[in-house]
Chain A
Amino acid sequence: MRVAAGAQVLTTPAALTCYGYDSSFIAGRAGAVVLASSARQVRAVAAWSYRRGIPLVPRGAGTGLAGGSVPMAGSVVLSLERMNAIVHVDQAERLATVEAGVVTADLHRRAEAMGLFYPPDPASSDASTLGGNIAAGAGGPRGLKYGVTRGYVHGLDLVLPGGEELTLGGGVAPGLCHLFTGSEGTLGIITRAVLRLIPRPEYRVTMLAVFDVLEDAAHAINDIMATGVVPSTLEIMDQASIRCVESYAPSGLPLDAAALLLIETDGMEKTARREARAVIAACRQRNARQVHTAANPVEAARLWKGRKAIPAAVVRVRPVKISEDATVPRSRVPEFIVRLHEIGHRHRLPLFIWGHAGDGNLHPNLVAHPGDPDELHRAQAAVADLFAAALELGGTLSGEHGVGLAKAPFLPGQAGPPGIDYMRRVRRAFDPRGLMNPGKIIIEG
Chain B
Amino acid sequence: MDLSPELRRQIALCSRCGTCRAHCPVFGELLEERAVARGKVQAVAALGRRELAATKEIREFFDLCLLCETCEAGCPNGVEVHSLVQAAREEMARARGVGIGGLVLGVLASARRLEAAARLLRFYQWTGAQALARRSGLLRALPGQVGPREDLVPPVELPTLARRYPGVIRPAGRPRFRVAYFTGCMSQAVMTGTGTAVIEMLLLCRAEVVLPPQACCALAIWASGQSRSARRMAEAHIGNFLATGADAIITGCGSCGHMLQRYGELCNTQKAGEFSSKVVDVSAFLYQAGLPEPDVPVSLCITFHDSCHLRRGMGVWEEPRRLLHRIPGLVLAEMDEPDRCCGGGGAFVITHYEVARRIGRRKAKAIQATGAQAVVTGCPGCRVQLSHALRIHQHPLPVYHPVDLLARSYQQQG
A interface with B by C-beta (< 8 Å):
8, 10, 12-15, 17-24, 27, 35, 61-63, 79, 81-82, 84, 101, 103, 105, 124, 126-128, 308-309, 311-312, 315-316, 319, 321, 370
Chain B's closest residue to A312 (CB) is: B76
B15:A13 contact, CB within 8 angstroms: no
Supply 16 further A-B pairs (C-beta < 8 A) apart from A22-B16, A126-B19, A319-B12.
A8-B32, A14-B34, A14-B58, A18-B42, A21-B38, A23-B16, A35-B31, A35-B32, A81-B32, A84-B31, A101-B31, A105-B22, A127-B17, A127-B20, A312-B77, A315-B15
Q: Which residues of A contact B131 (CB under 8 A)?
A: none
A13:B19 contact, CB within 8 angstroms: no
Separation of A315 and B33 alpha carbons in the complex (Å): 23
B43:A18 contact, CB within 8 angstroms: yes
Q: Which residues of B contact A62 (CB under 8 A)?
A: 16, 18, 33
B44–chain A nearest beta-carbon distance, Å: 10
Interface string of B76-93 (1 = CB under 8 A from A): 111000000000000000
Q: Which residues of A contact B20 (CB under 8 A)?
A: 127
Separation of A61 and B16 alpha carbons in the complex (Å): 11
Contacts A81-B31, A126-B19; is A315 near B77 (CB within 8 Å)? Answer: yes
Q: Which residues of B contact A103 (CB under 8 A)?
A: 21-22
A18:B39 contact, CB within 8 angstroms: yes
9 closest residue pairs by CB, A with B: A319-B12, A18-B39, A312-B76, A126-B22, A14-B61, A18-B33, A127-B21, A127-B18, A63-B18
A15:B34 contact, CB within 8 angstroms: yes
B77:A17 contact, CB within 8 angstroms: no
Separation of A20 and B52 alpha carbons in the complex (Å): 13
| Most B C-beta atoms less than 10 A away, residue of A12, A18, A82, A309 | A18
Contacts A15-B34, A81-B32; is A316 near B39 (CB within 8 Å)? Answer: no
B12:A79 contact, CB within 8 angstroms: no
Which residue of B12, B15, B22 contacts A370 across the interface (Cβ within 8 Å)? B12
Separation of A308 and B31 alpha carbons in the complex (Å): 26
A24–chain B nearest beta-carbon distance, Å: 8
Interface string of B36-60 (1 = CB under 8 A from A): 0011001100100001110101100
Chain A's closest residue to B43 (CB) is: A17
A21:B32 contact, CB within 8 angstroms: no
Which residue of B18, B31, B34, B55 contacts A23 across the interface (Cβ within 8 Å)? B18
B129 CB within 8 Å of chain A: no
Separation of A81 and B34 alpha carbons in the complex (Å): 12
A250–chain B nearest beta-carbon distance, Å: 14
Separation of A321 and B17 alpha carbons in the complex (Å): 11
B58:A13 contact, CB within 8 angstroms: yes
A346–chain B nearest beta-carbon distance, Å: 25
Chain B's closest residue to A123 (CB) is: B17
B42:A312 contact, CB within 8 angstroms: no
B29–chain A nearest beta-carbon distance, Å: 11
B interface with A by C-beta (< 8 Å):
12-13, 15-22, 31-34, 38-39, 42-43, 46, 51-53, 55, 57-58, 61, 76-78
Separation of A101 and B21 alpha carbons in the complex (Å): 13
Contacts A62-B33, A81-B31, A312-B77; is A23 near B15 (CB within 8 Å)? Answer: yes
A12:B42 contact, CB within 8 angstroms: no
Separation of A188 and B58 alpha carbons in the complex (Å): 33
A311–chain B nearest beta-carbon distance, Å: 7
A14:B43 contact, CB within 8 angstroms: yes
B78:A312 contact, CB within 8 angstroms: yes
Contacts A15-B34, A79-B32, A319-B13; is A124 near B77 (CB within 8 Å)? Answer: no
Separation of A192 and B39 alpha carbons in the complex (Å): 26
Q: Which residues of A contact B53 (CB under 8 A)?
A: 13
A19:B19 contact, CB within 8 angstroms: no
B18:A13 contact, CB within 8 angstroms: no
15 sampled A-B residue pairs with Cβ under 8 A = A15-B34, A17-B46, A18-B33, A19-B33, A21-B42, A23-B16, A24-B16, A63-B18, A124-B17, A124-B18, A127-B20, A311-B15, A311-B17, A312-B76, A319-B12
A315:B13 contact, CB within 8 angstroms: yes
Contacts A23-B18, A124-B18; is A18 near B34 (CB within 8 Å)? Answer: yes
Separation of A308 and B74 alpha carbons in the complex (Å): 13
B62–chain A nearest beta-carbon distance, Å: 9
Q: Which residues of A contact B61 (CB under 8 A)?
A: 14
Q: Which residues of A contact B55 (CB under 8 A)?
A: 13
A21:B15 contact, CB within 8 angstroms: no
Separation of A62 and B381 alpha carbons in the complex (Å): 34
Q: Which residues of B contact A308 (CB under 8 A)?
A: 76
Chain B's closest residue to A14 (CB) is: B61
Chain A's closest residue to B39 (CB) is: A18
A180–chain B nearest beta-carbon distance, Å: 23
A312:B15 contact, CB within 8 angstroms: yes
Separation of A84 and B31 alpha carbons in the complex (Å): 9
A84–chain B nearest beta-carbon distance, Å: 7
A386–chain B nearest beta-carbon distance, Å: 19
Chain B's closest residue to A319 (CB) is: B12
B57:A12 contact, CB within 8 angstroms: yes
A400–chain B nearest beta-carbon distance, Å: 15
Q: Which residues of B contact A18 (CB under 8 A)?
A: 32-34, 38-39, 42-43
Separation of A226 and B77 alpha carbons in the complex (Å): 38
Q: Which residues of A contact B18 (CB under 8 A)?
A: 23, 61-63, 124, 127-128
Q: Which residues of B contact A82 (CB under 8 A)?
A: 31-32
A87–chain B nearest beta-carbon distance, Å: 17
A404–chain B nearest beta-carbon distance, Å: 14
Chain B's closest residue to A125 (CB) is: B22
B21:A13 contact, CB within 8 angstroms: no
Q: Which residues of B contact A13 (CB under 8 A)?
A: 51-53, 55, 57-58
Q: Which residues of A contact B76 (CB under 8 A)?
A: 308-309, 311-312
B363–chain A nearest beta-carbon distance, Å: 19
Q: Which residues of B contact A22 (CB under 8 A)?
A: 16
B13:A316 contact, CB within 8 angstroms: yes
Separation of A312 and B19 alpha carbons in the complex (Å): 11
Q: Which residues of A contact B32 (CB under 8 A)?
A: 8, 10, 18, 35, 79, 81-82
A17:B15 contact, CB within 8 angstroms: no
A44–chain B nearest beta-carbon distance, Å: 19
B273–chain A nearest beta-carbon distance, Å: 26
A168–chain B nearest beta-carbon distance, Å: 27
Q: Which residues of A contact B58 (CB under 8 A)?
A: 13-14
Q: Which residues of A contact B57 (CB under 8 A)?
A: 12-14
B37–chain A nearest beta-carbon distance, Å: 11
